[in-house]
Structure 1
Amino acid sequence: MPLFYVKEVPIGAVAIMLALVASMGGFIFGYDTGQISDILLMDDFKSRFAQCGTPGDVGTCEFSMVRAGLIVSLLSIGTLVGALAGAPIADALGRRWAMIVECGVFIVGVIIQLLSFFSWQQFAVGRLVSGLGVGALSAAVPMYQAETAPPQIRGTLTATYQLFITFGILVAYCISIGTRSVSGSGSWRIVVAIGIIWALVLAVGMLFMPESPRWLAARNRIEEARRSVALSRGVSASERQTNAFVVREVEQIRMMAERERKLQAGWLTCFESKGKTRYRTFLGMALQALQQLTGANYFFYYGATVFQSVGLADSFITQIILGAVNFVCTFGGLWVLERYGRRIPLMVGGIWQSAWLFVFAAAGTVMGPVDPNEPVSEKNQSLGKLMIVAACMFILGYAMTWAPGIWILIGETFPTRTRAKQGALSTSSNWLFNFLLAFFTPFIAGDINFRYGFVFAACNLFGALVVYFFLYESSDLTLESVDDMYTDRHCKPWTSRSWAPEGYASREDDARTGPYAAQGGPGAEKQSGNEAHGASAFDPSGHKRTESLEHREHAV
């Protein structure tokens, strides 16, 4: 039984469950990102791993810029390598088992960190190993979600990955608040150790989820693919052989899989001009890099240190405020990206984020450096509060647009035969810039202070321009139709919202005139009206017309 209907199309409970369970990969990512900001300020951690003027006197212990940068950024080096390794793993083992194996790698990294006593190098290596798992998951999870989600709610389900990232960041902040008063190494070891729980939840949960139907079809396991599609649509086992909607979707997936099996797809294939493959590879890499260049991780990695430097009494609380804004506003992002598509939110978000970063940087520049040993003036207190407001408003826009939007696009922009590899290349671009920002931020911020915000403001404006001139609108389309849109010579990024698959008056027609309508389900009246105008995309047996796929197979 379908759980509910979206645009008159049935959605099964399994479609929701698989998105939520897989999104635990995002939670792990967020938790590991959020914990380090507060851990760097914990007394026991500083006394063990920082450079101390007087041994045993934590007041004389400070991290050098190089040491702090390496502890924070080696996670990103691991994720960069892990993202590239994630593609062949996901193709070889399947999306489900790849994620399970990657959870094991993450747990090994956590154990290495927990066994660190006085060697900061060992702790950093542990973060690098954990990063291998996080990076591979960041490539596999959005791909799995996009390949299994019904297109009518694909944006929402894929965006849950980003929602869980923000939730993980917030939970890490809250746990750090609770453990910072714990004496000894428990203050930070508890925070790190809890990460194992999240990996186990994901690994065990994936054992009960269906495999990607597109991965199964690519290996000619059509009946298993049919079962996977039926589960996501809420169709019973007795009906999945005859249900018109399942038959149509599986047939479309099967035809695309057959076509792509005829073509070899190595890493170099990602840079071929045919089918705008190279275009999409570079677009994905650029968007992921620009997501990092929004400046969000400047606050997530170093937020506690930043707000401590402006004289705020409790920078930990400020981090929780930012984390809460990030988490809550991501719910709005689920609606915005489903309602308004991908292009408009990203362009508006880039402009919004740029404006508030300008305010943040301007206020910080007026304030200037603050001596932590001197009382904070009333003027600087006001400027500090303005900076918090600007940071919150920036994160509000980021959480509703660029944060979830880019992960959605990585799952739905690429063709099936190279999706894993192109997704890995794009995600590795994200992690490369993540590393560069994490490592060099202490040096840059130390040199230009809060003027660093002006750099991010410019990057956000540039990102909005890239979206306008290069990104195609992929909402409300099947993954196969997205491929058709990119290869249509008459379709341009700025006109792509009006593009529809062959045989449809608009891209929403597929949802309104689906086979369930032919069976007397929701939308039956609308289907008959469309058929009167010759707009039906199905023959009397309920199968979708496949002219465009067949035509493209001969054309390529």
Structure 2
Amino acid sequence: MTFTIRGTPIGWLTIFIAVLASMGGFLFGWDTGQISGLIEMDDFKERFAQGPPGEKDWNVWIEGVIVSLLSVGTAIGVMCGAPIADWLGRRWAMTVECVVFSIGVIIQVTSFTAWYQVAIGRLVTGLGVGALSAAVPLYQSETVPRQVRGALVGTYQLFITFGILLAYCTNIGTRDYNNSGQWRVPIALGIFFAAILGVGILFCPESPRWLAARGRNEEAYRACAAVRGAKYGDGNPWVEAEYQDIIAAVKRDEHLGQASWIECFHRPNKTLYRTLLGMALQAGQQLTGANYFFYFGVSIFRSTGLSDSFVTQIILGAVNFFCTFLGLYNMERFGRRKPLVFGALWMSFWLFVFAIAGIVGGPTEDEISPGVGKLLIVAACLFILGYASTWAPGIWIFVGETFSLRTRARQAALATLSNWTWNFLIGFFSSPIASDIHFAYGFVFAGCNLANAVIAYFFVYETADLSLEAIDDMYNDPTCKPWKSSDWVPAGYESRDQIKNKDEGQAAEVGEWSKSPSAIPGEQEKNKANPLQVA
């Protein structure tokens, strides 16, 4: 079954692949969202917090360790994820990583009074989540057609927000349990969600680019056909064109051998440029300040005069989730650069409002009036609107489509390592910093967002509507500057609009070419030639 976007056939399998693989993002969101509520639950605090029975409360450093060790695990996991994804393939790598995640969940739910066992369990789940964060965007960007790549790769971020929201809702549903089910149930549910991804992904096709890079050309062609909803060997022009682009890119790199980590820092082909830019943007995504609210939202709004701070977090989570749909639209409608620039400026403004309102309304959280508390929540919601509709999906799309085929897995891993490193730093240090400077912490993130806007304007290239191979060519064009990259087009085109509007005309031209027996796998097999061999 197929449907059409911009005159281009897309198979329903494409949607299924994007949604299922995005469960890797859901697992991260689930762990991120649940911990802010768990540390406020009575049974969890009584078992793992410090102080005399009945009066226990968190030492800010131990709280930081429990919250942030997930990010330590993800930082390690993402570095393992790249070679695993290259070795086993994108699909089997995700299955193995779901098993690792589940082991971490088991460690957590079998804890009784040792806070460090919970922390170790979060470390292990982080290994799985981090490795998934390397494999999932790669698999999505390498598999889905370019006409829907931005929106479908962005579903990874959408599912992060969905995981956060569902974790908030689960926390509020279990917090009134009078036993350890308060926190064991939300944690244990992670195994169920991991099983959906770990088992389901094995029924999807492997990345055609990964297959072609290993000489498995016939399987690569079948994968291209599957996501287009086409039959194998029927000469579908879209399948033929995409397959030929993949083979050409593979042949261009095959004489270079296996890429090493050090090659990610080589200057030729703007490899170093792209590696450092990816790391800077992933760090910038964390330094927007979003996870400050997601990790510590319950604590931040506990004393603002609102009746239920758990409900406040659900409001923030719902804004984050539903505004991510706007983000998917923005990335397709306005490209990549403009949303990143204007989104950073929008977030900076509302963080200034948040910080000023907090400082004027009272130097500490305990002195905030109900009126100021409501203003804080409005500012936080409008900040999250900007984050969810720009930087949240935009950076994962950047990682999925910017790097060249040969070094893509390793460069994506290094960029994502930067994300998890800063995620850890924010998770670990936010509690003690906020306890000292309180709402002035918002000024730090507001300044970081101003820096993000500058980086996005001067260094990010516009990649919308281009194939992964054309994106690589754009970066290698010495005449193309980031702020003018929206006008860059592959040979044979005059504008990006022409790429979008003339897809049907291109299909007709490719259709004539594809009638050649040498381009159709079925004919090659009849002629007993090497399947899908390209001269």
Pick the TM interval, shorter chain.
over 0.9
Output the CA distance in 2 between the equivalents of 1:45 and 1:13.
Answer: 44
Aligned to 2:247: 254
Does residue 44 of structure 2 align to residue 45 of structure 1? yes
The CA deviation at 1:237 is: 2.7
Does residue 256 of structure 2 align to residue 263 of structure 1? yes
1:278 to 246, 251, 272: 272
Output the CA distance in 2 between the equivalents of 1:233 and 1:400.
Answer: 28
The CA deviation at 1:4 is: 1.5
Q: Is the 8 A contact 1:244 1:516 kept in 2?
A: no
Output the CA distance in 2 between the equivalents of 1:156 and 1:198.
Answer: 23
Aligned to 1:95: 90
The CA deviation at 1:238 is: 5.0
2:184 to 180, 189, 206: 189
- Deviations, residues 401-456 of structure 1 (Å, cap 9, x unaligned): 00000000000000011000000000000000000010000111111110000110
Aligned to 2:22: 23
- Deviations, residues 481-512 of structure 1 (Å, cap 9, x unaligned): 00000000110000000100011122344444
Aligned to 2:411: 422
Letter in 1 for 2:62: R
Compute the RMSD of aligned alpha carbons. 1.6
Output the CA distance in 2 between the equivalents of 1:262 and 1:87.
Answer: 21
Aligned to 2:31: 32
Cα gap change, 1:8 to 1:21, in 2 (>3 Å): same
Alignment of 1:214-363 (within 5 A): 214-239=209-234, 242-264=235-257, 265-363=259-357
The CA deviation at 1:251 is: 1.1
The CA deviation at 1:543 is: 9.0
Aligned to 1:390: 379
Aligned to 2:424: 435
Does residue 73 of structure 2 align to residue 84 of structure 1? no
- Deviations, residues 56-89 of structure 1 (Å, cap 9, x unaligned): x1xx111101100000000000000001110000
Does residue 394 of structure 2 align to residue 405 of structure 1? yes
SS of match in other structure, 2:398: helix
User: Identity over aligned residues, as a percent?
Assistant: 59
1:364 to 358, 366, 370: 358
Aligned to 1:541: 513
Does residue 465 of structure 2 align to residue 476 of structure 1? yes
Q: Is the 8 A contact 1:245 1:516 kept in 2?
A: no
Letter in 2 for 1:493: P
Output the CA distance in 1 between the equivalents of 2:497 and 2:203.
Answer: 32
Cα gap change, 1:220 to 1:511, in 2 (>3 Å): farther
Aligned to 1:465: 454
Aligned residues: 515
Stretches of structure 1 that go unaligned for 5 or more consecutive residues are 520-535, 545-556
The CA deviation at 1:309 is: 3.5
SS of match in other structure, 1:11: strand
The CA deviation at 1:321 is: 0.2
Output the CA distance in 1 between the equivalents of 2:11 and 2:473.
Answer: 27
Letter in 2 for 1:439: F
Does residue 107 of structure 2 align to residue 108 of structure 1? no
Letter in 2 for 1:161: Y
Output the CA distance in 2 between the equivalents of 1:189 and 1:266.
Answer: 42
- Deviations, residues 441-482 of structure 1 (Å, cap 9, x unaligned): 011111111000011001001001000000000010000000
Cα gap change, 1:254 to 1:325, in 2 (>3 Å): same
Alignment of 1:484-495 (within 5 A): 484-495=473-484
1:504 to 485, 488, 493: 493
SS of match in other structure, 1:194: helix
SS of match in other structure, 1:5: strand
Cα gap change, 1:118 to 1:478, in 2 (>3 Å): same
Cα gap change, 1:447 to 1:518, in 2 (>3 Å): closer
Q: Is the 8 A contact 2:298 2:310 kept in 1?
A: yes
Report the TM-score when normalising by structure 1. 0.90
Does residue 87 of structure 2 align to residue 126 of structure 1? no
Does residue 375 of structure 2 align to residue 381 of structure 1? no
Mean Cα deviation higher: 89-98 or 243-252: 243-252
Q: Is the 8 A contact 1:285 1:430 kept in 2?
A: yes
Output the CA distance in 2 between the equivalents of 1:518 and 1:321.
Answer: 46
The CA deviation at 1:371 is: 7.5
2:62 to 57, 63, 67: 67
Q: Is the 8 A contact 1:37 1:302 kept in 2?
A: yes
Aligned to 1:550: none
